[in-house]
A and B are shown apart, each in its own frame.
Chain A
Amino acid sequence: MSRADVCVVACAEAFRGDGEILAAGIGGAVTVLGARLARLTFEPDLLTHDGGCLLTGDVPALGETPQVVEGWLPFRDHLWLVLNGRRHVMLGASQIDRFGNTNISCIGDWARPRAQLLGVRGAPGNTRCDPTSYWIPRHSPRVFVPRVDMVSGLGTDRGAFELRRVVTDLAVLDLGGPDGTMRLVSVHPGVSVADVVAATGFELDVPGDVPQTRRPSPDELRLLDEVLDPRGLRGREVPERAA
């Protein structure tokens, strides 16, 4: 079991209970694997896509073409789906604050940024209209900041529809703290609460008893190794961290 396996399972858990909606992993291999693993195990009604415009009838390995197509979702329909709300997206973020406001647009002053990033993309609409989760592969004070430079995705203080989970390479968090602030839900095996607090650049709500993130089951590990990611791409996104 690797740290990456734990992260994929934690991402999959974010989709638990979603039923027959699109589980859209956008922010990297781990999010896509999380959606597909959830569908292959405890959430079989989920819809998943191929990263392009196909809804897949089967659940192919990362980077492989689906053998069965069950629907068509070109970009314009993706934009429809965002407003319609039958979608739970797992996004990335360059910055996130204690209310779950996120930034993928630029670093520094928007008028003359120090670093131009992607632009807000669909984050404002996603977070206003749909359940949204985040995957942050490098939990650090550079990402977990007191204030984001440009609010792309809405936090709980700005009218977010529902922020479900924030999964990182260290821990699982949610927005269940006082006034909708970020709360530590669990720490991954080998990670201490102090590690997470030290890697977070704002005050984190830490309950008295913080459990360990669920370990992958043997069946989940087999699905990851043999079916979904035989080339081990998840390990490139989440290298093992020195403790």
Chain B
Amino acid sequence: MTAEEVAGRIRSGMTVGIGGWGSRRKPMALVGALLRTPVRDLTLVSYGGPDVGMLCAAGKVRRVVAPFVTLDSIPLEPHFRRARQSGTVEFTEYDEGMFMFGLLAAAHRLPFLPTRAGLGSDVMRVNPHLRTVRSPYGDGEELVAVPALTLDVALVHLNRADRRGNAQYLGPDPYLDDLYAKAAASAYVSCERLVDTGDLLKAGPVQSLLISRSLVAGVVEAPGGAGFTSCEPDYGRDEELQRRYAETPWEEFHEQG
């Protein structure tokens, strides 16, 4: 597929999970294609980075579900900040661990999973829909019931994939990309390089095959497709381009492509 074809599958109002973490291995080629569509009112589910910032800046977002939005080496994401401070996006703010349990619940087709993370904090105050459950066992502990973060679409970027959708990470951290794929009705993978299935194990061991084709609705070959975020070991973060992104008005940055 092409990035444009993937973007064409996304409808206004959908819930879109975006893999990676902060400004690391974000599927920026797919996000870029999504920016060029007329889609609106998306709910984004993300350990947020410039993916969230760009889609907010372009007016594509109704709600962000996230424990943070950051560019890592630049701590605060400027476009997300502006969207929050001007009140143009709704925000469901979760603890990082709660957020993972939401994806885990969706991946396992469970309505919720219990955790201690979030209890006692203002996450419970600002998300009044959150409920607690009491352990049915002897301890009787009260826990937060994190609702499943079920996704219409997941977008992830990995280092290698074959045409059928078996996808491989070669960097040190898988992030939560397989969970996004498992939590979604349809998952789309972009990759640095498409390879023959028989060549996948030439680049890394079998446990680097993070996502199975059974979960994947489409594959896009997109060299540099995580740029300017990092995609180790293929490339690190382009700090200069990221700085320009953070300092340039969005319209100007976007028009320069």
Asked if B84 and A106 make an inter-chain contact with CB atoms under 8 angstroms apart, the answer reads yes
Asked if A118 and B122 make an inter-chain contact with CB atoms under 8 angstroms apart, the answer reads no
Query: How distant is B250 from chain A, measured CB to nearest CB, in Å?
Result: 16
Asked if B97 and A75 make an inter-chain contact with CB atoms under 8 angstroms apart, the answer reads no
Query: Does residue A128 face the partner (Cβ distance < 8 Å to B)?
Result: yes
CB neighbours (8 Å) of A175 from chain B are: none
Query: Does residue B116 face the partner (Cβ distance < 8 Å to A)?
Result: yes
B side interface size, CB within 8 A: 39
Query: Does residue B222 face the partner (Cβ distance < 8 Å to A)?
Result: no
Using C-beta atoms within 8 Å of the partner chain, give the interface range for chain A: 35 or more
Query: How distant is B139 from chain A, measured CB to nearest CB, in Å?
Result: 15
Asked if A159 and B122 make an inter-chain contact with CB atoms under 8 angstroms apart, the answer reads no
Q: From A75, A83, A112, A129, name the one whose CB has the most chain B CB atoms within 10 angstroms.
A: A75
Contact among A116, A124, A158 with B81 in the assembled complex (CB-CB below 8 Å): A116
Asked if B122 and A151 make an inter-chain contact with CB atoms under 8 angstroms apart, the answer reads yes
CB neighbours (8 Å) of B94 from chain A are: 120
Q: Kindly specify which of B1-9, B34-42, B168-176 makes contact with the partner chain.
A: B168-176
Contact among B75, B97, B126 with A150 in the assembled complex (CB-CB below 8 Å): B126
Q: From A52, A110, A120, name the one whose CB has the most chain B CB atoms within 10 angstroms.
A: A120
Asked if A120 and B121 make an inter-chain contact with CB atoms under 8 angstroms apart, the answer reads yes
Asked if B175 and A83 make an inter-chain contact with CB atoms under 8 angstroms apart, the answer reads no
Q: Which of A139-182 contact B (CB under 8 A)?
A: 150-154, 158-160
Asked if A74 and B174 make an inter-chain contact with CB atoms under 8 angstroms apart, the answer reads yes
Query: Does residue B98 face the partner (Cβ distance < 8 Å to A)?
Result: yes
Asked if B66 and A119 make an inter-chain contact with CB atoms under 8 angstroms apart, the answer reads yes
Given A76-B174, A82-B117, A118-B75, A124 and B84 contact (CB-CB distance below 8 Å): no
Query: Does residue B120 face the partner (Cβ distance < 8 Å to A)?
Result: yes
Asked if A110 and B98 make an inter-chain contact with CB atoms under 8 angstroms apart, the answer reads no
Q: From A112, A116, A117, A150, name the one whose CB has the most chain B CB atoms within 10 angstroms.
A: A116
Contact among B47, B75, B93, B117 with A83 in the assembled complex (CB-CB below 8 Å): B117
Contact among B81, B85, B96 with A112 in the assembled complex (CB-CB below 8 Å): B85
Contact among A74, A119, A128 with B116 in the assembled complex (CB-CB below 8 Å): A128
Given A116-B76, A125-B95, A76 and B176 contact (CB-CB distance below 8 Å): yes
Asked if B76 and A79 make an inter-chain contact with CB atoms under 8 angstroms apart, the answer reads no
In the complex the two chains form, what is the Cα distance from A56 to B175 in whole Å? 19
CB neighbours (8 Å) of A44 from chain B are: none
In the complex the two chains form, what is the Cα distance from A128 to B85 in whole Å? 29
In the complex the two chains form, what is the Cα distance from A236 to B84 in whole Å? 31
Return the chain A residue nearest B66 by Cβ: A119
Query: How distant is B26 from chain A, measured CB to nearest CB, in Å?
Result: 14
Return the chain A residue nearest B75 by Cβ: A118
Contact among B85, B100, B116, B174 with A116 in the assembled complex (CB-CB below 8 Å): B85
Given A75-B173, A110-B126, A151-B122, A122 and B97 contact (CB-CB distance below 8 Å): yes
Query: Does residue B115 face the partner (Cβ distance < 8 Å to A)?
Result: yes
Query: How distant is A138 from chain B, measured CB to nearest CB, in Å?
Result: 15
Chain A: residues with CB nearer than 8 A to chain B? 52-54, 72, 74-76, 79, 82-83, 105-106, 110-125, 127-129, 150-154, 158-160
| CB<8 Å pairs between A and B, sample of 15 | A53-B173, A75-B173, A105-B93, A110-B93, A116-B81, A120-B123, A121-B67, A123-B121, A124-B95, A128-B118, A128-B119, A129-B117, A151-B122, A152-B121, A158-B120
| Pairs A-B, 8 closest by C-beta atoms | A125-B117, A119-B68, A124-B121, A116-B84, A124-B95, A151-B122, A122-B96, A158-B120
Given A123-B121, A158-B120, A160-B120; 19 other pairs, CB 8 A cutoff: A79-B96, A83-B115, A112-B84, A115-B85, A117-B76, A118-B69, A118-B70, A119-B48, A119-B93, A120-B94, A120-B121, A121-B68, A124-B95, A125-B118, A128-B117, A129-B117, A150-B122, A152-B121, A153-B121
